[in-house]
Structures are given as C-alpha cells and as structure tokens.
Amino acid sequence: MDIDVTDRAIYTRTLGIEHDPLDGPRVHRDTQGREVAPDLLALMGETPLVALERLSRDVPPTIVAKLEMLNPGGSVKDRIGIAMVEAAEAAGVLKPGGTIVEPTSGNTGVGLAIAAARKGYRCIFVVPDKVSQDKISLMRAYGAEVVVCPTAVEPEDPRSYYSVSDRLAERPNAFKPNQYFNQANPQTHVLSTGPEIWRQTGGRIDAFVCGVGTGGTATGVGRFLKERNPGLTVVGADPEGSLYSGDTVHPYLVEGIGEDFWPPTFDPDVVDIWERVSDQESFSMARRCTREEGLLVGGSCGTALVAALRYAATQPADASIVVLLPDSGRGYLSKLYDDTWMAEHGFVEHTSGAGAVGDVIAAKGDELPPVVHLHPDEEVAAAIDLLREFGVSQMPVFAGGVHEDASRDDVLGSVRENALLDAALRDPGVMSKPIHDVLQPPLPMVDTDAPLDQALAELSGGAPAVLAHERGRIIGVLTRADVLAYLADR
C-alpha cells in the first residue's frame, strides 16, 4: 500500500483526533454547542485508566489498567479497524462498493465491521476454528460474512486462514487491510493509545504491560512511551506455545495473542521482558479479575494481568505500571466463564470452595461396588431387581460385554425408576423385554477434578444423578443425597 502511515492527517480524520491526545481528552460539540459526537467512529479511543486495588493487594505497587473493552465495538481493535480503512481510502486502494477481507480472531473484525457499516462496504472475515461461537455470531450480527478455517494446519496450507483470506482478497474490488502487515496498525497506537497513556499518567509511567498478537499495540505504545521515557520497561505477556517468548510452538486456547511467525507489524526490540503464561493461569486470572474487581475481562486480559502481577512483585510500591486490557469477557461466556468448558479442558476452578466431585465419591467410601450398572440385553425385571437391591433410583447402562473399567464411550444410556414405572403401567409385558426398549438418555458426566458446583448445576437442572469419571474412566454415581451427606460430614 503506497501510503505514508506517519501522515498525521489520516489519524486526525480516523480517530476523530482534531487535536493531539496529549492536549487533553476530546470533547465533541455539534453545531448547537451540545456535547454530541458526530458518529460512533469519533468515539473510538480515549479509554479510561482504573486502579486495580484488589488484584494488586499482594504486590507492592497498585497496577493500573487501560480499559480497551470500553471502545464502542468492545476492544482495542476498534482503533485500528477504522484507521486501516481510512488509510486505504486515502491511498485509493479501497473504493466505494468495495469488500473488506481480513483474517481475524474476531475483535479486528468488529472494528472493521463498524467502519464498514458506517461507510457502506461489504465485509468477509476469515477466522481460525478455535474462535468462540460468540465472536463469530457477533461479527455476523454486524452484517459481516464469516469463513471458519482449521487451526491445525501450517500457515502455507491452502486451508489455513491466511491462505483462504489471500484467495478471497484477489477478487475484484476486494481490499485486505492485513493487520499483520499494515503499518497503520502500530502507527495508530503511536498516535492515539500511547499519547493517551502518557497524558493520563501525567508522564509518570515506569512500565507498560500488554499481550502481543500482531504486535501493533506493543510496538506503537512502546515506541511512543519509550521516546518520552527511554527508561520505561515494556513487558510482553505471551501464552505458552507462542514463538515470541521462545517457546516451542504448540496449540493453546487463549485468543488473540501469541504467534507462530514474526509479523512485520511487531518490532521485537520494543519488548524488554517476556512473561510466559499458561492457559490455566490466564483463565483463572480473568475470572478472578471479574469476581474481585467487578471488571468482566477476556482471556488475554488474564494473560496480561498475570504478567503485570509477576513484574509488579519485583517493583517498589511507587512504581507506575499500566497494563492494557484488550477486550471484555462477554465474548467468552461459553468458554472461560463456563464451568463445564473449563472442566472439559482440564482447567480446575473451585468457585465455591465446596470441593471437587472426586471428594464426594471418596467420601462415599466402598459400601457399594464401584459402579452398579446394566447391559442393554438384560431384562427389565433384572433392572428392577438391581434397583431394589442397591436402593437406587437410576443406573447407567453400559455397552454389552463391559464390566469393570467402563469408559465414557461405553455409556449407552440409563434406566430410571420413573420411566420404568411409566412403561410398566402402559405395557404389562415390559418385564420380559430387553432394557434396550426402555433406555433413557445417559446421566450427565462430570470429571472428578471438576468443582462440585458443576455436579450441583446438573442435579438442580433435573438430572437424577451424575456419573463421575476420572480421565474418562467411569468411577462412580453421585446423587443429591450423596452431596448432602458429604457436605453434612465435612
């Protein structure tokens, strides 16, 4: 793209910066002198700083957060969405009626979609398959078309999200902003985010902490702040499995940050210290931030907060540390804020302090054989005998031939007292029929490491019992009575 990205005029238009952010917060006035912004685009940027008193209580300084989720589209990427669109218009590469094609993990898509909606462009976004359904739905809600591509392929693979977006961008009148290559990305942060932070801290800032995806934020903010204060430290927060902090590249679940290549929008020299953070640490910290600060944040905010806290632990009480929080937790309600999703991915969270599913199983002792169960070919009469013998109201049904050591995959369904009663009333001959004929859906399954809350959610949602499994092996059945007995005896 033949464009001078340092041309201040572009950003004057795009980010509504009629004045330098260093001069003070923007106040928009309409022709009647009212404080009314001309449109949503003018409200991008100028996000507030807030002290994170509670999260910082165990480290000497109080960490300050820049709340990028308060941008109109809900993330830091609003800033570059509009900037890249207007830079392309100025360069003549995006013309009226054009289509914007971009590989994006979601937030840049929303930023671009808002700009496109205001300016009448069509949008096609290409996303990796790990991106949450919530984010995909969100981009579609703004009127964008979304193409989902596999993550487990090389960037050069024709199915990768980079390759697919390249092909779509070759279509006539299509324009690919390409946030990983577009220098308007870091430059937006040199001209908006960096100066805002400098002004908001009164120039009292010792360290800036952020996650690194395209590297636009770290590069732009880092360059601006270091020019003002060469002694400033930039701390890069990087997921385990990302190339940036030197890890062996492998898949991870936190979205929007870390990379398996070095994009030209990232200047690695700007980062002084890398902090490598696991998915578990990131997600637990995001949830903690929401619960303790009342600030609903996304997974990569957790990564940045873990990095900020580790760094802060080494600093004096008067150190001024700013961490940038890119987006809100609303985009992740079905992921890191969902207990079942967390447990399914092996992330243990004891929200209520009540213990784990495995604790209740252990407390039951060995009064019962491991798991009383039935096979589909047994007769209904035999099922009733077993229910009576063990004084239980439901039982799992395992695939024929499975005795001890059943796995989750062996579970075919269940028999339940109330359904048997129903069947017996309707058909007196049911007693000699196979269990297969009265089979009910499987009982919900929970990991022994899962918090008890998860089993309780199933039980209060109508399940008569849940099956507990240890890494896939079924080890017990849990009822409300079992949970009550455990809680009473604790």
Ligand X SMILES: Cc1ncc(COP(=O)(O)O)c(C=O)c1O
| Part in contact with ligand X (CB under 6 A); list of ranges 36-44, 214-222, 412-420, 443-451 | 214-222
Largest CA distance in the chain: 87
Q: Which of 77, 135, 226, 335 is catalytic?
A: 77
Can you tell me which of 71, 165, 193, 217 binds ligand X, judged by CB under 6 A?
217
**Strands of 99-103's sheet, edge to edge?**
145-149, 122-128, 99-103, 174-175
Contacts of 246 (CB under 8 A, 6+ apart): 274
Are 307 and 328 within 8 A, CB to CB? no
Can you tell me which of 103, 326, 355, 444 binds ligand X, judged by CB under 6 A?
326
| Part in contact with ligand X (CB under 6 A); list of ranges 137-145, 251-259, 435-443, 455-463 | 251-259
Cα separations (Å) of 291 from 54, 55, 284, 329, 351?
10, 10, 11, 12, 10
Residue 382-421 contact track with ligand X, rule CB under 6 A, x = bound: ----------------------------------------
Are 400 and 412 within 8 A, CB to CB? no
Based on DSSP, count helices (H) and strands (E) in the chain, helices before strands: 16, 15
Are 171 and 99 within 8 A, CB to CB? yes
Following DSSP, what letter does each residue of 286-325 receive, concatenated?
HHHHHHHH---B-HHHHHHHHHHHHHHTTS-TT--EEEEE
Give the integer Cα–Cα distance in Å for 317 and 206.
12
HSE of 374, CA atoms in CB hemisphere, 13 A: 29
Nearer to ligand X, 16 or 326 (CB): 326
Can you tell me which of 21, 98, 177, 213 binds ligand X, judged by CB under 6 A?
213
Which amino acid is located at 426 in the chain? R
- Shortest reach from residue 256's CB to ligand X, in Å: 2
Nearer to ligand X, 300 or 394 (CB): 300
Residues 293-322 that bind ligand X (CB under 6 A): 298, 300
Contacts by 314-317, CB closer than 8 A, 24 or more apart? 315/59, 315/60, 315/61, 315/206, 315/207, 316/60, 316/61, 317/60, 317/61
Residue 214 sits in the site that holds ligand X (CB under 6 A): yes
Q: How many chain residues interact with ligand X (CB under 6 A)?
A: 18
Residue 187 sits in the site that holds ligand X (CB under 6 A): no
Among this protein's residues, is 77 annotated catalytic? yes
Residues 252-281 that bind ligand X (CB under 6 A): 255-257
Residue 73-112 contact track with ligand X, rule CB under 6 A, x = bound: --------------------------------x-xx----
Residue 188 sits in the site that holds ligand X (CB under 6 A): no
Residue 215 sits in the site that holds ligand X (CB under 6 A): yes
Residue 47 sits in the site that holds ligand X (CB under 6 A): no
Mutual orientation of helices 107-119 and 133-141 as an angle, nearest 10°?
10
Can you tell me which of 211, 241, 258, 329 binds ligand X, judged by CB under 6 A?
211
| Part in contact with ligand X (CB under 6 A); list of ranges 55-63, 91-99, 215-223, 426-434 | 215-223
Instruction: Give me the residues that bind ligand X (CB under 6 A), please.
Output: 105, 107-108, 211-218, 255-257, 298, 300, 326-327
- Annotated catalytic residues are 77
